[in-house]
Amino acid sequence: MQRLWLAAIFLLLGYTFWISPDLSEIAAGIALFMFGMRSLETGFKTFTGGPLENALRRSTSRLWKAIGFGIATTTVMQSSTLISLLTISFVSAEMITLAGGIGIIMGANLGTTTGAWLIAGFGLRVDIAAYAMPMLVFGVILLFNQGRTLKGLGYLLLGLAFLFLGIHFMKEGFEPFQARFDLAAYSVPGITGVLLFTLLGMAATFVMQSSHATLLLIIAALATGQVSYENALALAIGANLGTTITAVIGGWTAAVGGRRLAAAHVLFNLLTAAAAILLIQQMAWTVDRVADLVGIAEDDFLLKLALFHTLFNLLGVVMLAPFVGVMERLLTRHITFTRKPAEQPRFLYPEALKTPATAVSAVRNEVGHLYDNAYGLIALGIGLRRSVIDSRQSLTEAVRGTRRLIALDLDEVYETKIKSLHSAIVAFIGEVQQRELTEEWTQQLNQLQEASHDIVEAVKATKHLRKNLTRHGMSPDPAIRERYDALRIQIAKLLREIQVLRTEEPGAVTSLSLDPLRLALQTEHRRNMESINQMIRSRRLAPYVATSIINDAGYAFGVGENLIEASRALLISPEQTERIAGERLALDEQDLARIANAARSTVYEPNHRDLTP
């Protein structure tokens, strides 16, 4: 079907170019302009993966900051589509709030009006093709460099050059029509004309996937008298509405947060367009008054159109900004999260691949999902329910009060909830690494992949431990039961402590936060081994049982080590400076061994909260 549509479009364009060479020049202008937009997007994407993402996260704590960020970035990048799609991917990855995302979308709508000012005030009054030529030369030279930054600059220069050439060809293509016939004679007055040309503007933006390209077309047609000023205003409203289609397409494949933001984008543009249509006479009067104040000539309809585009977008922001909180609550209530089964990925959406930051955030969230699955499985593996570990109930009493282990097919659950999810994470990381990444992002992905592997190894160790725990864990022999109870308590205490750390504020957990867990694990392991050896010497344990307990103590220690290492990647802030500072202060293995040896006779007490062991 797609090939048929493509063939039909080619045939239609070919026939159009044959009957009118001037139309082919207009079409070439549109094509160059759109290619310039794509080149600009490619150029700016090479600079994502650090400054842009960090600025985006810092700029959403307040609504006015989010709106300002949307205005500034769209003005610089001249692409509200790129900013909208980036914001959708950030909200999907839970890196910024929905309210912050709505603010950025509002700002992007205002920022995109600078394109109209650029085209109306500069593009059609100056021979900008002359500026495009040197840009093309320097852009191509930079494009052949191997450096990522220089390549990005090359794409930016090429993008600007093609934008300028597109404007030039559009202007040249419309001029012959002025002498042949007047399209403005077909203008439709009244509300019917407003609605009709709004739909035409929306359709043009849908086809070209760029409101800037549509505005260029409108301004070029207006400059040559091929469309009336009133109808041009309606076309501008339609162009604004057409941008929401790209957001809907981008949000369709995103997580629930991205879908909510795409819906907010549509809602904002619809309400803004409705207000502009209903008040179009008042808006036109306001444009005339403001034009007089700022010195725009009465017959300068190009700048007046740019001013109208700015004012009606500003109207939308002023009208809806006070209700962002209400909008957020409504969208959260009506666009709900359909929770996927535990064995299916919940965060690995295609939208997450937009930038390295969103991809890494999605992987981190998915590894957290894998940890949640493993947590419940390990808890059941040692004969406790997750709710018991999450509560303040005494773990010692819960373990010693166990009469029989919970029935569990560990092998089956491992295959469905652990191995399949781990495989999906590895596959997604492989897809991300096919893109061009900085060393910092590559390092974070490698750490998360190691964390996923550590979680899988912790579950495997639990599987081995479970075999002998099923056989000896409920033994009537007090000595055997005591040793297995100690191993179960050791793992349960660690799971509880890690859960406490997971409730901390982002950035609050450092390598120092994990040192007490590592120290406690080593201390408990040494204490268990000493107790086992003491029981062997006093003949309280038979050698064949003691061998099983020693092996199982090693499995329990492996569970703990792997969970702590996985927690390091999941909980510690990814900021390079914090990570370096934490690693410098954190205890190394020799420090931990020395402290553990000195603490053999002490009892470890959790120091995060008043938790009953």
Q: What is the DSSP string of 460-525?
A: HHHHHHHHHHHHHTT-SSHHHHHHHHHHHHHHHHHHHHHHHHHTSPTT---HHHHHHHHHHHHHHH
Identify the top-confidence range among 6-15, 95-104, 184-193, 343-352.
Answer: 95-104
Interatomic CA distance for residues 533 and 525, integer angstroms? 12
Percent of the chain with pLDDT over 90: 13
Q: What is the CATH number of the domain that holds 460?
A: 1.20.58
Based on the fold, state whether residues 260 and 372 are members of the same structural domain. no
Q: What is the DSSP letter of 123?
A: I
- 535: nearest Cα among 550, 554, 520, 522: 550
Q: Would you say residue 341 lies in a domain?
A: no
CA–CA distances in Å: residue 337 to residues 34, 162, 332, 422: 36, 42, 9, 22
Whether 456 and 373 have beta carbons less than 8 Å apart is answered as no
Based on the fold, state whether residues 420 and 312 are members of the same structural domain. no
pLDDT at residue 602, rounded to an integer:
43
Residues of the domain holding 379: 355-598
Based on the fold, state whether residues 234 and 366 are members of the same structural domain. no
Based on the fold, state whether residues 412 and 500 are members of the same structural domain. yes
CA-only gyration radius of the chain, Å: 32
pLDDT confidence bin for 379, thresholds 50/70/90: very high
> Domains in the chain: how many in total?
2
49-63, 216-230, 250-264, 538-552: least confident range: 49-63
pLDDT over 70 (residue 187): no
Both tokens assigned to 162: 């093609």
**Averaged pLDDT, 142-165:** 78
Q: Would you say residue 325 lies in a domain?
A: yes
pLDDT at residue 591, rounded to an integer:
55
pLDDT confidence bin for 208, thresholds 50/70/90: low
Phi and psi at 52, nearest 5°, equal -65, -45
47-51, 176-180, 475-479: least confident range: 176-180
Interatomic CA distance for residues 471 and 467, integer angstroms? 7
**Averaged pLDDT, 137-156:** 81
Based on the fold, state whether residues 503 and 572 are members of the same structural domain. yes
Q: What is the DSSP letter of 602?
A: S
Q: Which pTM was predicted?
A: 0.68
Q: List CB contacts of 19: < 8 A, sequence separation 6 or more.
A: none
Q: Is 459 exposed, middle or buried (0-12, 13-18, 19+ CB in 10 A)?
A: buried
pLDDT over 60 (residue 183): no
Whether 480 and 472 have beta carbons less than 8 Å apart is answered as yes
pLDDT at residue 488, rounded to an integer:
92
**Averaged pLDDT, 193-216:** 77
Q: Which of 334, 369, 398 is the endpoint of a domain?
A: 334
Based on the fold, state whether residues 366 and 259 are members of the same structural domain. no
Q: What is the DSSP letter of 337?
A: -
DSSP, collapsed to helix, strand or coil, labels residue 315 as helix
- For 252-309, write each residue's pLDDT tens digit: 656 677 788 888 888 888 898 898 888 888 888 998 899 888 888 887 877 888 888 8
pLDDT over 70 (residue 582): no
Based on the fold, state whether residues 237 and 362 are members of the same structural domain. no
Q: Which residue has the tokens 């919940």?
A: 346
Based on the fold, state whether residues 396 and 321 are members of the same structural domain. no
Based on the fold, state whether residues 125 and 225 are members of the same structural domain. yes
**Averaged pLDDT, 540-552:** 87
Q: Would you say residue 13 lies in a domain?
A: no
Interatomic CA distance for residues 556 and 488, integer angstroms? 8
**Averaged pLDDT, 301-327:** 87
Q: Which residue has the tokens 């929905």?
A: 98
pLDDT at residue 554, rounded to an integer:
92
Interatomic CA distance for residues 227 and 188, integer angstroms? 10
pLDDT at residue 57, rounded to an integer:
65
- For 564-575, write each residue's pLDDT tens digit: 999 988 888 665
DSSP letters along 83-120, please?
HHHHHHHHHHTTSS-HHHHHHHHHHHHHHTHHHHHHII
- For 99-111, write each residue's pLDDT tens digit: 888 898 898 888 8
132-136, 576-580, 590-594: least confident range: 576-580
Based on the fold, state whether residues 293 and 441 are members of the same structural domain. no
Print the SS3 string covering 445-461: HHHHHHHHHHHHHHHHH
Task: State how far Cα 247 lies from the chain centre.
Answer: 14
Q: Would you say residue 4 lies in a domain?
A: no
Q: Would you say residue 152 lies in a domain?
A: yes
CA–CA distances in Å: residue 210 to residues 72, 213, 472: 19, 5, 69
- For 332-371, write each residue's pLDDT tens digit: 888 776 655 667 888 888 777 877 888 888 899 999 999 9
pLDDT at residue 590, rounded to an integer:
58
Helices (H), 181-210: 190-208
Q: Would you say residue 347 lies in a domain?
A: no
Based on the fold, state whether residues 403 and 442 are members of the same structural domain. yes
Cβ-based neighbour number of residue 35 at 10 Å: 16
Helix (H) or strand (E) holding 572: none
DSSP, collapsed to helix, strand or coil, labels residue 342 as coil
Whether 28 and 169 have beta carbons less than 8 Å apart is answered as yes
Q: Would you say residue 298 lies in a domain?
A: yes
Q: List CB contacts of 251: < 8 A, sequence separation 6 or more.
A: 88, 258, 259, 261, 262, 263, 265, 351
Both tokens assigned to 480: 């055997």
**Averaged pLDDT, 14-22:** 71
Both tokens assigned to 518: 């590592």
